[in-house]
Every structure is written in C-alpha cells, then in structure tokens.
Amino acid sequence: MTSTIELTTTWARACAVSDLEPGWGEVALLDERQVAIVRVAGEEVYAVDHHDPHTGAPVMARGIVGSRGERPTIASPLHKEVYDLGTGECFTDPSLTLRTYRTRVVGGMLEVEVDG
C-alpha cells in the first residue's frame, strides 16, 4: 500500500509592497509570529524572524540592511551579527542562524509563507 502525504502551504497576507520603504524593516504579526519584513528593491522582499538569534530580543526589523557581495543582509541592532536575508546564515558567527520565511508578491500584496 502506498501512502501519500499532502503538504499544504499557508500564505499570510502581510501588506502592500508599496507600503514598504526600500532598505528599511517593518514588523508584521503573522499566525502569532513576529516577522521582520525587509524590502530591498522593487518587489525583492525578504521575511525573517523578528527575534535576534543571539539574545532573543524582538529587534531584527530595526537591524541595519546592507549586503555582502551580491547577498542582501541584515545586521542585528544589538551586537551587529550580520545575517544573509535569503538563507539566515550568520556571516560573523557561524553558530547562529536567523529563521527565514518564503515570500511572494500577488497583485502588489506581499504574502509570507507561515506553514509548509
């Protein structure tokens, strides 16, 4: 007997992309989670956990947005650890990881994957 597992993806609507200022983070409460949303440019938007992996403080949306080479980054406003916005990898301390969420733009609205 073959069993199949159905995976469902739940997308939560966060805001209009036009409401986000490039290079600046905002916080959204999605499915009871605080998610930091960062618009890099155009419709290139990233979503990561709002809690700093090093301290647990809810501050990542106030982090410093930048880049390492071609990779968009965010630095914690507390201890300045630098994270890749796409992968959550920490460039300055490999023992730390920032949770990331997939995003998509549908009809000008940003949606964030909250389950999957």
Torsion of CA 36, 41, 45, 46, to 10 degrees: -60
pLDDT at 87 over 70: yes
Cα separation, 31 vs 13, whole angstroms: 10
Architecture of domain 11-115: 3-layer Sandwich (2.102)
* pLDDT tens-digit readout, 8-61: 789 999 999 999 999 999 999 998 999 999 999 988 999 999 999 999 999 999
The one-letter code for the residue type at 45 is V
Residues, the chain: 116
Q: What's residue 82's pLDDT?
A: 98
- Residues 46-62 have pLDDT tens digits of 999 999 999 999 999 99
The pLDDT of residue 31 is: 87
Cα gap 59→1, rounded to integer Å: 49
pLDDT for 71:
96
Nearest to 60 by CA among 100, 93, 92: 100
- pLDDT score of 113 more than 90: yes
Q: How far from 74 is each of 33, 49, 82, 111, CA to CA, in Å?
A: 19, 12, 6, 20
Kind and range of the H or E element at 93?
none
Domain range annotation of the chain: 11-115
